Structure 1
Amino acid sequence: MRTALVIGTGLIGTSAAQALARRGVTVHLADHDPEQARTAAALGAGTSEAPDGPVDLCVVAVPPAHVAGTLADAMRRGVARGYLDVASVKGGPRRELESLGLDLAAYIGTHPMSGRERSGPLAASADLFEGRPWVLTPTRDTDTEVLNLALELVALCRAVPVVMDADAHDRAVALVSHMPHLVASMVAARLENAEETAVRLCGQGIRDVTRIAASDPRMWIDILSANPGPVADLLAEVSADLDEAVTALRGLQSADASKRQDGAAGVEGVLRRGNAGQARVPGKHGTAPTAYEIVAVLIDDQPGQLARIFADAERAGVNVEDVRIEHATGQQAGLVQLMVEPQAAPVLAAALRERGWSLRQ
């Protein structure tokens, strides 16, 4: 791939363009807002000037509702040898293109499973896709050259290719992305009119659950409008679980001992199913999840504290598998939770204590 045209210079389009440009591809940028394309160009994503002739690959990075129309226009103009989109739904756009009577040999639907709460070119990063799955949905009609161009794009963005059927993809993202976003938003909505004294008690748990609720609602309306059926089906299942949990909790509230017992069993059932589902979430690098031990270290909110902890862990010969930071309420301090292999936890704890760190259980 020597040349590419990226249509749509939001977070995903600009990030892909930056990754391609960084690796020597001449990237042309287009957007319905020319100022946004110029902003992306200023950030090193390519040039906002139109290409002189057909490019190797056209990447359409527009909202799902506009994918088919944008692709159809580009294909009729013959702007590239191959075409792909990066929308978060795949079945609908392909069916729309088929209904328009286009030859889809030169097209492949794709979806990089990466993003941020912020949108627009200023939120973009050439490293956004590194190590992340990038779904490809070829069909029997897809030209081999186009599939290879898509695979080259994924490789240049340093993502991991995953081949799926388009409709299976849409059901999967409804489960792991679209439905969770709505649930997170519903939980976060409980905080809108909550008393300030309650909100000040927010800890890492509520932060983890509501983090994605900070995303742009307009972008999510586009996404959910393109995949409403599978998301609604899943929410109906969540609704049934909520009804069950409410009934169980009311039982715990009852003066009747048998109802309290049934309520406890119902709540435990919900929690245990949650344990089983969470255990299936892949671990590092997509491998089976691993149970790590946590070494919790109290730190001051000062420059260099994290660097010192990691340096001391390195001196102890311990690899930190993951890390979380929980900030203390009303204090310039916090807990750094270092996740390590179980056999390494006592070694790291002893080394950190020896170097003066204060550990917490």
Structure 2
Amino acid sequence: MSDDPRGIDSVLVVGTGLIGTSVGLALREHGVTVKLADQDPAAVRVACELGAGEEWTAGGPRVDLAVIAVPPQFVAQWLLDLQKTEAARFYTDVASVKALPIEQAAGLGCDLSSYVAGHPLAGRERSGPAAARADVFLGRPWAYCPGPETAPEAVRAVLSLIDLCGGNAVEVAPAAHDEAVALVSHAPHVAAAAVAARLAEASDTALGLAGPGVRDVTRVAGGDPALWTVILSGNARPVAEILEAVAADLGRAAAALRAAAVEGAAIDPVTELLRRGNAGQSRIPGKHGGPPRSYAVVQVLVGDRPGELARLFQVAKEAGVNIEDVRLEHAPGLPLGAAELHVQPEAAGGLARALRAHGWHVP
């Protein structure tokens, strides 16, 4: 390791998909030397062309840290192979499952003192190196799971990696990590896919009526099925348990609705589920990981033309209003849409007046 305050000077990234390439891009912004490897030569070429690093040559100088960015089932074998050639001083991974690669690494006889399992909770619906961005980790939690054998120097190297990429380091036990991501990521992805699957044979009439609600619910269903099959199989038990609980809730709701349709019965189980949903949704952390906040929404009609959003944000800037969130909904068949600007409640009135004064239509 260098005496440089960054902690790491050189990194090998194995796996040049979305996350691996994004790691390379983020590190290159800080002047870290990044080497790239992948079983797909085309993926390496794209990552190199994007500026994420240079192609790795086996047997070259040892790097400070190797980041293994491959599916969970293949992490341990890569770790073993890299350690045999002393490719790096320390090792980590970015797989979305932690117990499996750690268990497999121990079974293969890997040196666990130089390895810290990790997982940045960041990504996009798109996959592959072309979808990579240097800022994808900014402000995002980055779990790391040191074991009893882990050397303090290895932990420091991984914390340096997380810091350079802009993530927020969160130490967590492997089993607790897998239970958590099953709840907040893996099972929701399957649930979104189940809803989206109903749209595959939907009528044109139904699709023409689709609004922001169905888009919000199904957004993550656009992920790569092959990649998600690998992820889900690596965390199968926790995901199955959550999906079974969700299915039970939906089953009770469906039974209540069926009884209401046939017998006119009350739908108390549905009401209870909706209330529990409100309670759960309200616990999702808000801005910067703080407590949830309720924002006022200022709706503005915008034309589907270049520069419209820039003009809109300029008015907000001049009015001294910070836009906390923005959502766009296009009007079917018309060259305009609605922008929903989420702002602090006390700022909503002033922003609406400023927008109207600049000629914007605020309903």
* SS of residue paired to 2:338: strand
1:48 aligns with 2:55: yes
Task: Specify which of 206, 209, 212 is matched with residue 214 of structure 2.
Answer: 206
Q: Report if the CA contact (8 A) 1:326-1:334 is conserved.
A: yes
Whole-angstrom CA distance in 1 between matches of 2:118 and 2:263: 56
Task: Specify which of 248, 261, 271 is matched with residue 274 of structure 2.
Answer: 271
Cα offset, 1:117, TM superposition: 1.1
1:253 aligns with 2:261: yes
Whole-angstrom CA distance in 2 between matches of 1:222 and 1:178: 11
Deviations 1:224-252 (A, max 9, x none): 01000000000000011011111221232
Whole-angstrom CA distance in 2 between matches of 1:143 and 1:48: 29
* SS of residue paired to 1:294: strand
* SS of residue paired to 2:362: strand
Which piece of structure 1 moves more, 43-52 or 81-90?
43-52
Cα offset, 1:276, TM superposition: 0.2
2:340 alignment partner in structure 1: 337
* SS of residue paired to 1:358: coil
Percent of aligned positions with the same letter in both sequences?
51
Task: Specify which of 103, 111, 120 is matched with residue 103 of structure 1.
Answer: 111
The residue identity in structure 2 corresponding to 1:242 is L
Whole-angstrom CA distance in 1 between matches of 2:56 and 2:280: 49
Task: Specify which of 163, 168, 174 is matched with residue 171 of structure 2.
Answer: 163
1:23 alignment partner in structure 2: 30
1:37 alignment partner in structure 2: 44
Unaligned runs of 5+ in 2: 1-7
Deviations 1:110-165 (A, max 9, x none): 00000111111111111111111111111221111110000000011011111100
1:113 alignment partner in structure 2: 121
1:294 alignment partner in structure 2: 297
Q: Report if the CA contact (8 A) 1:62-1:87 is conserved.
A: yes
TM-score (norm 2): 0.96
TM-score (norm 1): 0.96
1:137 aligns with 2:134: no
Whole-angstrom CA distance in 2 between matches of 1:277 and 1:15: 32
Unaligned runs of 5+ in 1: none
Which piece of structure 1 moves more, 132-141 or 273-282?
132-141
Whole-angstrom CA distance in 1 between matches of 2:37 and 2:56: 8
Task: Specify which of 81, 91, 100 is matched with residue 89 of structure 2.
Answer: 81
Deviations 1:299-357 (A, max 9, x none): 11112211111111122221111111111111111110011111111111122122221
Whole-angstrom CA distance in 1 between matches of 2:63 and 2:311: 49
The residue identity in structure 2 corresponding to 1:238 is V
After TM superposition, the runs of 4+ consecutive aligned structure 1 residues lying more than 4 A away are: none
Whole-angstrom CA distance in 1 between matches of 2:25 and 2:263: 63
1:222 aligns with 2:262: no
1:350 aligns with 2:353: yes
* SS of residue paired to 2:170: strand
Whole-angstrom CA distance in 1 between matches of 2:295 and 2:198: 32
Whole-angstrom CA distance in 2 between matches of 1:270 and 1:298: 35
Q: Report if the CA contact (8 A) 1:201-1:329 is conserved.
A: no
Alignment: residue pair count:
355
2:319 alignment partner in structure 1: 316
* SS of residue paired to 1:29: strand
2:3 alignment partner in structure 1: none
The residue identity in structure 1 corresponding to 2:257 is L
